[in-house]
Amino acid sequence: MKLWRKHLERVIQWGLLISATVTIIAVLLIFVFLGKEGLPALLKVPLSNLLGDRWIPVSFENPRYGVLPLIAGSILVTFLATVIAVPFGVGGATYLSEFAGRAEREILKPFIEVLAGIPSVVLGFFGLVVIGPALKSLFGLTSSLTALTGAILLAFMALPTILSIAEDALRAVPRSFKEASLALGATSWQTTWKVTLPAASPGVIAAVLLGIGRVIGETMAVMMVTGNAAVLTASPFDSVRTITATIAAEMGEVPFGSDHYRILFLIGLLLLGMTLAVNLYARRLLVGKIRRRKR
Amino acid sequence: MILNLKSFGFSTVIIVVAFISLVLGGCNKPGESDERAPESGTPAKVESETLTIKGSDTMVHLVTYWAEAYMKVHPNAQISVTGGGSGTGIAAMLNGTTDLAMASRKVKPKETELAKDQGVSFNEIIVARDGIAVAVHPENPVSELTLDQLRQIFNGTLRNWSQVGGQDEEIQVLSRESNSGTYVFFNEHVLMKDNYGQAVRLMPSNAAIVQSLSQDRFSIGYVGLAYAEGAAVKVIGVKKDKETAGITPSLETVSDGSYPIARPLHIYSNGEPAGLAKDFIDFALSQNGQDIVRETGYIPLK
């Protein structure tokens, strides 16, 4: 009987181990597959073409596979979204954790979670018919399909992530820190700005990074509102084509095994690398913070 | 008794990872496991035949109507029609996962090359025609453009409406995405194989183009004729050259060939069609079939 139980526990333990490692295997396999399909492009397409500033994969002349406008497009939209989302995210988190009463928090928090649950295609539609035209008349633009429209939608998507993780970080600051500050005669605003926020800063930065990680990979909303012209630009009022939109739009029809097919996998690998780097760095900050606190 | 996870060392994890990758790797060969033969799903005792048709999103609407009308007369036939784009249909034919492919463009030389390797020979049948309307915002004063002006607008040479008789404003050019058969057709027959200009905005669908055209006062774009009819956009007349009159697309101007931006819609079969496929195509080309073409907003062959 006892032996039987021991075996059963062993089986359960193995089952749990497999469940835990499935995600690792999935990530590894995705990396291997993307690399296998994408890396041969480096051998077949000259680097001068890959690093060019024109993206014309379907052409009667020579196809051009310059990935710079795509990378620049993704970075521009992500940067703008971060600039928009961070003040609201960190500000909102500070209010929720330091100033809001219980009742306020109980009303605000569910709404933030609702924002996180809005499907991106719905947000994209909202951007296409509401935000885009509004921005157009506000700034006197000729087109509503701009990087800025996309960035605002992405800021909506990053906000819940930034808000909730930053709030957790702020609430994790030990009471003794604040009490010491208040006892020394600081006002509650001075305490928040000079003591609580700096103490929580690794967590807050991690929150922002995780928000960025969410934003780089977003596809649908961006594809609907940014116009998808592959232009190398730094202006928020120009159209941009992001890596994600490019893959989503072109993968469906690309001839299997062609240069174009391989390059789409290559930029997919690039995108995965970017999000992974941001997420891993954010994790390190979060883990580092917890270790320091334990000491 | 507590589970001692520490006794499971790092090496165990590696072994598990390796084992599972092997299992997963075994079914990783593309195109072997995930294709199902269309015949296998139907029970053998019923004498029913199946036909799969894949391809152009432009044509799905039309071919679905054909399939429904055909199946009403031939209850034993099972015809499934799916979209995905012209390229998707042609790729499916290369991979042997469809009987017929719909395409709003011709097969590309590269695809013919691939077909030779796969032992597939494309047999092209023109089943209907479709006009491509060029449209602007309703308040735009420009109502006619020559083919050459269109070429220069879409390749980025002409950038201001004043250069073609409009206001002194930048032209915002809208096109379909590069996966669209319409994109390729426009590229070949209006752009004369020039590349699209860099600032051309690529929109994911006909509907998105119509939506933007109705909002942005200085934009221009092209859509399938059926999408422009009834939308809040102004369809402009196209002139073959400076001397001829501008012609707007319609059933008459497309079918008599006077509207210049019209294209044939194709169905491709692997070799000469036989059996159900042949019968279905004959139906599509018959008087009944071509009546359906007119009813669904496309242009019949005759």
Q: Judge: B211–A145 Cβ closer than 8 Å, yes or no.
A: no
Tens of pLDDT, residue by residue over A79-123, are 999 999 999 999 999 999 988 888 998 899 889 888 888 999 999
Distance CA B283, CA B277 (A): 10
| pLDDT given for residue B95 in this prediction | 83
Domain membership flag for residue B300: no
- Comparing alpha-carbon positions, the chain A residue that sits nearest to B177 is A249
The shortest CB-CB distance from B16 to any of A17, A132, A252 is to: A17
Q: Is B88 found in the same domain as B53?
A: yes
Is 0.90 exceeded by the ipTM? no
Distance CA A125, CA A42 (A): 37
Residue carrying structure tokens 């048709």: B53
Q: Is B193 found in the same domain as B125?
A: no
Count CB pairs under 8 A between chains A and B.
127
Tens of pLDDT, residue by residue over B42-87, are 444 446 789 999 988 788 889 999 999 999 999 999 999 988 778 8
| pLDDT given for residue B291 in this prediction | 93
Chain B residues with beta carbon closer than 8 angstroms to that of A128: 208, 211
Q: Is B56 found in the same domain as B158?
A: no
A85 contact partners, CB below 8 Å, separation of at least 6: A154, A155, A158, A159, A162, A211, A215
Residues B218/B221/B225/B227 CA torsion (nearest 10 deg): -70
| pLDDT given for residue A62 in this prediction | 83
Q: Which is more confident, B206 or A182?
A: A182
Write down the domain spans for chain A. Answer: 2-38, 44-294
For helices B181-189 and B86-94, what crossing angle results, to 10°?
Answer: 110
Backbone angles phi, psi at A55, to 5 degrees: -115, 95
CATH topology assigned to domain A44-294:
MetI-like fold (1.10.3720)
CB A178 within 8 A of CB A99: no
Q: Say which DSSP state A165 is in.
A: H
Domain that holds residue B65: 6-130+264-295
Sign of CA dihedral A48, A53, A58, A62: negative
| pLDDT given for residue B177 in this prediction | 87
Q: Among A30, A36, A60, A61, which would you mutate to test the B interface (most chain B Cβ atoms within 10 Å of its Cβ)? A: A60
Q: Judge: A253–B87 Cβ closer than 8 Å, yes or no.
A: yes
Tens of pLDDT, residue by residue over B240-251, are 888 888 999 988
Q: Among A6, A17, A144, A145, which would you mutate to test the B interface (most chain B Cβ atoms within 10 Å of its Cβ)? A: A145
Average pLDDT estimate for B268-277? 92
Q: Judge: A229–B17 Cβ closer than 8 Å, yes or no.
A: no
CB B238 within 8 A of CB B246: yes
Any idea which of B28-37, B97-106, B267-276 has the lowest mean pLDDT?
B28-37
A72 touching B, CB under 8 A?
Answer: no
Chain B residues with beta carbon closer than 8 angstroms to that of A8: none
| pLDDT given for residue A67 in this prediction | 93
Q: Is B166 found in the same domain as B90?
A: no
pLDDT of B29 strictly over 60? no
CATH number for the domain spanning B278: value is 3.40.190.10
The shortest CB-CB distance from B17 to any of A24, A129, A250 is to: A24
- Comparing alpha-carbon positions, the chain A residue that sits nearest to B4 is A13
Q: Which is more confident, B47 or B158?
A: B158
CB B249 within 8 A of CB B259: yes
> Mind telling me how many Å the CA of A271 is from chain B's nearest CA?
21
Domain membership flag for residue B182: yes
Residues in chain B: 302
> Mind telling me how many Å the CA of A294 is from chain B's nearest CA?
23
Q: Is B43 found in the same domain as B114?
A: yes
Q: Judge: A253–B91 Cβ closer than 8 Å, yes or no.
A: yes
| pLDDT given for residue A294 in this prediction | 53
Domain membership flag for residue B301: no
Q: Is B138 found in the same domain as B115?
A: no
Predicted confidence pLDDT, tens digits, chain A (295 residues): 678 888 999 999 999 999 999 989 998 999 999 999 999 999 988 988 999 889 998 888 888 999 999 999 999 999 999 999 999 999 999 999 988 888 998 899 889 888 888 999 999 989 988 999 999 999 988 888 999 999 999 999 999 999 999 999 999 999 999 999 999 999 989 999 999 999 999 899 999 999 999 899 899 899 999 999 999 989 999 999 999 999 998 887 777 778 899 999 999 999 999 999 998 888 888 777 656 655 4
- Work out how many domains chain B is built from and give that number: 2
> Mind telling me how many Å the CA of B91 is from chain A's nearest CA?
7
**pLDDT confidence bin for B16, thresholds 50/70/90:** very low
Q: Is B114 found in the same domain as B151?
A: no
> Mind telling me how many Å the CA of A22 is from chain B's nearest CA?
8
> Mind telling me how many Å the CA of B106 is from chain A's nearest CA?
13
Chain B residues with beta carbon closer than 8 angstroms to that of A223: 204
